[in-house]
Amino acid sequence: MMLKSITESFATTIHGLKAGHLTDRVIQRSKRMILDTLGAGFLGTSTEVFHKASQYSKIHSMDFDDTWHPATHPSGAVLPVLTALAEALPRSPKFSGLDLLLAFNVGIEVQGRLLHFAKEAKDIPKRFHPPSVVGTLGSAAAASKFLGLSSTKCQEALAIAVSHAGAPMANAATQTKPLHIGNAAKHGIEAAFLAMLGLQGNKQVLDLEAGFGAFYANYSPKVLPNLDSYSWLLDQQDVAFKRFPAHLSTHWVADAAASVRKNLVAETALLPIDYIKRIVLRIPNVQYVNRPFPDSEHEARHSFQYVACAMLLDGSIAVPAFHECQINRPQVRELLSKVELEYPPDNLPSFNTLYCEISVTLKDGATFTHRSDTFYGHWREPLSQEDLEEKFRANASKMLSCDMVESLIKIVENLEDLEDCSVLTTLLKGPSPPEVASNSSAYNNSITNLS
> How many CA atoms, within 13 angstroms, populate the side-chain half-sphere of residue 134?
26
Instruction: Give dist(CA 273, CA 160) in Å, integer.
Output: 55
Strand pairing category for 276-282 and 339-342: parallel
- Region of poorest pLDDT, from 54-58, 74-78, 219-223, 357-361: 54-58
Give the pLDDT mean for 373-393: 98
> What are the chain's domains?
6-235 (1.10.4100.10), 248-372 (3.30.1330.120)
In which band, very low, low, confident or very high, does the pLDDT at 3 lie, cut at 50, 70 and 90? low
Asked whether the bond before 70 is cis by omega within 30 degrees of 0, the reply is yes
What's the pLDDT tens digit per position in 387-417?
A: 999 999 999 998 899 999 999 999 999 999 9
Give per-residue pLDDT as tens, 109-165. 999 999 999 999 999 999 999 999 999 999 999 999 999 999 999 999 999 999 999
How far is it, in rounded angstroms, from Cα 80 to Cα 83?
A: 5
Distance of CA 177 to CAs 63, 132, 435, Å? 9, 10, 33
User: Contact, 256 vs 375, CB < 8 A?
Assistant: no
Give the pLDDT confidence score for residue 241 in this predicted structure: 98
Amino acid 48: pLDDT: 61
Q: What is the mean pLDDT of residues 83-97?
A: 89
**pTM score > 0.75 for this model?**
yes
Share of the chain above pLDDT 70, in %: 90
**Mean pLDDT, range 293-309, rounded to an integer:** 97
- pLDDT bin (cut points 50, 70, 90) of residue 267 is confident
**173 or 139: whose pLDDT is higher?**
139
At 411, which amino acid appears? I
